[in-house]
Amino acid sequence: MIQKLFSYLIPVKIFKKKSARSKVIEVTWANGELVLDSENTNYSYGSLQRILRYGLRNIGYDAILKMDHILLLGVAGGSVIKTLVDEIKYKGKITGVEIDSDMIQIANQYFNLNQIKQLEIIIDDAFEFVLKTKEKYNLIIIDIFEDINMPNFLFERFFSERICYLLQDQGFVLFNTMILDEAHNVRNRKYIAEIDSKLFTSKMLPRIEVHNELIIIEKVA
Ligand SMILES: C[S@@+](CC[C@H](N)C(=O)[O-])C[C@H]1O[C@@H](n2cnc3c(N)ncnc32)[C@H](O)[C@@H]1O
């Protein structure tokens, strides 16, 4: 509690781990809130949670409450899961795919992720999982970062077509991206242009929290 109060003055680091996959993972009290950070950016809670909450609000909490199965690619501390379960009161199933098992151990220890009954965690590469899965989803949240980098596969046509194929009718994709230079801007616009506009509508929610841009795709047919 003292650490939490003190964190309103300066951030208080309470845990740091070198992980093979993610280099450095830190858990910090910042402004009275426990957050999870990688070396150079916030991974969970804090601004990351606000960004995804903004995207979910744009999709609509009423639409989300009617959903049966949500797929989350990139779990880290699981802040969007807390938004879905604690704030929106979503009752359906959530499947979370995370490549770094250290991350899930920290999520369980510091953020009680293992107490969420409707959540299934799969330790796997999101790319591999998306190829293997036999399910279809009402919402697919893509939130994959290696520190401040986004792996190239996320923007390849093969991957975006597979993601769109895995949507139920009237399903949504919520894709969190980071824009640090003009090349990233071009990359995002190309991504949107490649989505089949006969079957899907897509839009961008630009420049959230300075560097993030959300892409929302909806299956209309
Ligand atoms: C910004 S964090 C996710 C935050 C989370 N969505 C939340 O709401 O708190 C990004 C995560 O993507 C994971 N990641 C990176 N590459 C991945 C991959 N190929 N497959 C699955 N997860 C990956 C990282 O280990 C990291 O935990």
- C-alpha 208 to ligand 1 mean position (Å): 19
Instruction: Please compute the mean of the pLDDT values over residues 152-159 and round it to a whole number.
Output: 98
- Residue 198 and residue 184: Cα distance in Å, rounded? 26
pLDDT of residue 64: 98
| CA–centroid distance, residue 129 to ligand 1 (Å) | 13
Residue 146 Cα: closest atom of ligand 1: 15
Give the model confidence (pLDDT) of 46-93 as tens digits.
999 999 999 999 999 999 999 999 999 999 999 999 999 999 999 999
3-state secondary structure of 150: coil
pLDDT for 21 equals 83
C-alpha neighbours within 13 Å on the C-beta side of residue 120:
9
Could you tell me which of 159, 158, 167 has the C-alpha nearest to residue 201? 167
State the Cα–Cα distance between residues 103 and 74, nearest whole angstrom.
10
Verdict on whether the full-model pTM lies above 0.85? yes
Among 144, 176, 211, which is best to mutate for testing ligand 1, by the most ligand atoms less than 8 A from CB?
144
In the predicted model, what is the mean pLDDT of residues 122-128? 98
Q: Answer whether 75's CB lies under 8 Å from 98's CB.
A: yes
Give the pocket of ligand 1 (CB within 6 Å): 22, 43-44, 48, 52, 73-80, 97-100, 103, 125-127, 143-146, 151
Q: Categorise residue 117: left if φ over 0, alpha if ψ from -120 to 50, beta otherwise.
A: alpha
pLDDT for residue 118 is more than 80 = yes
Instruction: Give 3-41 pLDDT, tens digit per residue.
Output: 888 788 889 999 999 987 888 999 999 999 999 999 999
Share of residues in the chain with pLDDT > 90 (%):
89
Ligand 1 centroid to 146 CA: how many Å? 7
Q: Which residue's CA lies nearest to atom 11 of ligand 1?
A: 74
Decide: 56 and 81 in contact? Cβ < 8 Å.
Answer: no
Our measurement of the distance from residue 126's CA atom to the centroid of its chain's CA atoms, rounded to an integer in Å, reads 12
Written as six digits, the tokens of 1 are 């509690």
Greater confidence (154 vs 4) lies with: 154
